[in-house]
């Protein structure tokens, strides 16, 4: 892998130097939510994990049943997660006019919960469910009530959620799901799917265009807590680099964007954002 323009550092001084005076667009990934108790399955030291594909979800009833059983246990955990110091620092930076907006690959809504106003949820949001046939959108909480009624005692039988591995997409790793009863769309009987972009699925075009526009409006792009493994995030780094916009990447471990980074910083996201919120002046 090619090295970034400057060698990776654990010191934020170079990042402050590059970012100071610019209005920033921030691209965030799973790494920013780990301090809120949501594990990053692509972070260093994480066990290998095969993500579910859209094709598996739509094409296989047994798979769908297994998926919804795990999601039903996992979503409540994400629902209870609270924003951390990193999310709060971005709210502060936005209020001061340093940050224009946030593009997030996370579906946990922690930026919104913290108070960020201009957020693009690139990969969707965990709190909504959409019907693949008629497009009806229902709140995940309403579906939870239906799934509880269809599967009395299921969540309790799985055990305390604290003992279960939770993935960033609200997927919990549990074994027995064969008897789980799933729910279909109440309007048309169609397949319900979390309003989340899965592997093998494209981010809606309009959302991608808004994200490109947000990058174009910024004087610099700050990437926080993403290994940029998938093109859906990496393309914004490429786009910024092509137009000569400085890119600062804060992530523990290598990212696919490192060769394009002006500065690469290897520190925790909460620490980095708290420091940047303290050090970066409001652009004039």
Name the residues annotated as catalytic. 123
The minimum distance between CB 68 and Zn ion, in angstroms, equals 16
- Integer Cα distance of 19 and 280 in angstroms: 7
Instruction: Indicate whether 130 belongs to the interface with Zn ion (CB under 5 A).
Output: no
Among 78, 119, 131, 197, binds Zn ion (CB under 5 A): 131
Instruction: Indicate whether 259 belongs to the interface with Zn ion (CB under 5 A).
Output: no
Question: Is 30 annotated as a binding-site member?
Answer: yes
The minimum distance between CB 134 and Zn ion, in angstroms, equals 3
Angle between helices 61-80 and 140-150 (to 10 degrees): 120
Question: Is 227 annotated as a binding-site member?
Answer: yes
Question: Is 203 annotated as a binding-site member?
Answer: no
Taken in order 29, 33, 35, 39, is the CA torsion positive or negative? negative
Give which of 272, 250, 270 is closest to 262, Cα–Cα. 250
The minimum distance between CB 183 and Zn ion, in angstroms, equals 11
Instruction: Indicate whether 147 belongs to the interface with Zn ion (CB under 5 A).
Output: no
Among 82, 117, 134, 176, binds Zn ion (CB under 5 A): 134
Taken in order 85, 256, 261, 122, is the CA torsion positive or negative? negative
Q: Is the Cβ of residue 8 or residue 190 nearer to Zn ion in the bound state?
A: 190
Taken in order 248, 215, 99, 128, is the CA torsion positive or negative? negative
Question: Is 55 annotated as a binding-site member?
Answer: no
Q: Is the Cβ of residue 182 or residue 185 nearer to Zn ion in the bound state?
A: 185
Question: Is 10 annotated as a binding-site member?
Answer: no
Q: Which stretch binds Zn ion (CB under 5 A): 25-33, 76-84, 135-143, 175-183?
A: 135-143
- Using CB under 5 A, list all residues that contact Zn ion: 131, 133-134, 136, 185, 187-188, 190
Binding-site members for NAD(+) are 29-49, 105-108, 225-227, 251-253, 269
Binding-site members are 29-49, 105-108, 131, 134, 185, 188, 225-227, 251-253, 269
């Amino acid at each position: 892998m090619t090295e970034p323009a400057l060698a990776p550092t654990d010191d934020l001084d170079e990042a402050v130097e590059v970012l100071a005076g610019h209005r920033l667009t921030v691209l965030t990934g799973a790494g920013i939510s780990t301090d809120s108790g949501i594990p990053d399955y692509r972070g260093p030291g994480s066990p290998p994990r095969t993500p579910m594909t859209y094709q598996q979800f739509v094409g296989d009833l047994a798979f769908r049943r297994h998926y919804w059983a795990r999601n039903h246990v996992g979503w409540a955990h994400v629902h209870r997660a609270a924003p951390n110091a990193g999310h709060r620092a971005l709210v502060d930076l936005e209020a001061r006019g340093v940050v224009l907006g946030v593009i997030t690959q996370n579906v946990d809504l922690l930026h919104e919960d913290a108070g960020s106003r201009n957020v693009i949820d690139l990969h969707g949001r965990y709190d909504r469910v959409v019907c693949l046939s008629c497009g009806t959108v229902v709140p995940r909480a309403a579906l939870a009530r239906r799934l509880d009624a269809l599967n009395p005692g299921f969540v309790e039988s799985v055990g305390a959620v604290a003992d279960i591995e939770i993935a960033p997409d609200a997927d919990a790793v549990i074994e027995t799901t064969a008897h789980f009863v799933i729910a279909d769309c109440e309007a048309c009987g169609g397949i319900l799917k979390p309003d989340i972009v899965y592997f093998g699925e494209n981010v809606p075009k309009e959302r991608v265009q808004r994200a490109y526009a947000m990058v174009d409006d910024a004087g610099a792009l700050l990437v926080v807590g993403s290994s940029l493994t998938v093109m859906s995030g990496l393309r914004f780094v490429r786009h910024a680099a092509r137009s000569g916009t400085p890119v600062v990447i804060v992530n523990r471990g290598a990212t696919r964007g490192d060769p394009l980074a002006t500065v690469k910083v290897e520190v925790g996201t909460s620490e980095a954002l708290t420091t940047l919120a303290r050090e970066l002046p409001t652009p004039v």
